[in-house]
Amino acid sequence: EAGVAQSPRYKIIEKRQSVAFWCNPISGHATLYWYQQILGQGPKLLIQFQNNGVVDDSQLPKDRFSAERLKGVDSTLKIQPAKLEDSAVYLCASSSFQTSGPSYEQYFGPGTRLTVT
């Protein structure tokens, strides 16, 4: 079974530029997450999709970050314009849909390391 794919793996941009990340989840996984991970810290959820609908985007800085999952499969996360503090690893994860029960397993991609100079 193929894992979660992300691209690019690395990106270096100057502040005020734009950048986009792509994620392809595990086939059949209805739920997709984007996390931001600052070096040495735990991941912070930015946005959660259920199929092509947004479930939670309460911690997404909407003035500069946007994300979409138009066909309910792959997803893009965009930053425009980037700031120095956006330097981090951006992780995509997916999980299968559950309506109840204990928390489910999330499968993570390798991440995109963004450096803003």
Partner 1 sequence: TQLLEQSPQFLSIQEGENLTVYCNSSSVFSSLQWYRQEPGEGPVLLVTVVTGGEVKKLKRLTFQFGDARKDSSLHITAAQPGDTGLYLCAGGPYYVPGNQFYFGTGTSLTVIP
User: What is the closest distance, in whole angstroms, from the C-beta atom of residue 55 to partner 1 in the complex?
Assistant: 5
Residues, the chain: 117
- 61 vs 110 by CB, closer to partner 1: 110
d(CA 88, CA 37): 6
The tokens describing 65, both together, are 């970050």
- 36 vs 86 by CB, closer to partner 1: 36
User: What is the closest distance, in whole angstroms, from the C-beta atom of residue 75 to partner 1 in the complex?
Assistant: 15
- Interface residue list for partner 1 (CB under 8 A): 4, 33, 35, 40-45, 48, 50, 55-56, 58, 91, 93, 98-111, 113
For residue 64, what are the CA distances in angstroms to 6, 56, 61, 75? 21, 17, 6, 17
User: What is the closest distance, in whole angstroms, from the C-beta atom of residue 111 to partner 1 in the complex?
Assistant: 6
d(CA 33, CA 31): 7
- 79 vs 93 by CB, closer to partner 1: 93
User: What is the closest distance, in whole angstroms, from the C-beta atom of residue 32 to partner 1 in the complex?
Assistant: 13
Burial class (CB in 10 A: 0-12, 13-18, 19+), 73: middle
- 27 vs 100 by CB, closer to partner 1: 100
